Amino acid sequence: MTTRYPVCLKNITKQYTVEGKPAVDDISLTIEAGQVLALLGPNGAGKTTTVKMIAGLVTPTAGQLTVMGYDILAQRRPAVGYIGAVLEGARNLYWRLSAEENLRYFGQLRLVPRKQLPGRIETLLAHFGLYEHRHKEV
């Protein structure tokens, strides 16, 4: 699918509670192919929530968000195939889960087909030398 802007946000809002202040309030932006974008702001400004919405990890409350022309709500599977994000912070891996459980969790988030997931987990554990430690908490 071709589009002028690989990532397009139009009037995106994310509100976690009905009575609370929106985490992201009516943001619109486009990201062109090859463009580098930095989101700057204080803690609580909505930077991480915005990136998570683009990556398909958080659902916008309102607005339209497309990735490579795919609507992130209606066509999540093809859209997230174009996005990779590593978010800074303590939640890149869940320390109370094992390496195998973390891979399963993130594989499910990335919509890896259920039948393929065990094999991919095993391959990754072996590749990174973690197979014998797969059941230990990270």
Structural domains in the chain plus CATH codes: 7-80 (3.40.50.300), 99-133 (no CATH)
pLDDT of residue 93: 73
pLDDT in tens, 62-83: 999 999 999 998 998 888 888 8
pLDDT in tens, 95-105: 778 899 989 98
87-96, long-range: CB < 8 A, 24+ apart: 87/48, 87/51, 87/52, 89/48, 93/138, 94/138, 95/137, 95/138, 96/137
pLDDT of residue 4: 78
pLDDT of residue 37: 87
User: Which single residue is written with the structure tokens 């889960």?
Assistant: 97
* Residue of 117, 116, 49, 53 lying closest to 79 (CA atoms): 53
Most confident residue range from 19-28, 84-93, 96-105: 19-28
pLDDT of residue 89: 62
Say if CB 104 and CB 120 are below 8 A apart: no
Residue 20 corresponds to which tokens in the numbers above? Answer: 């609370």
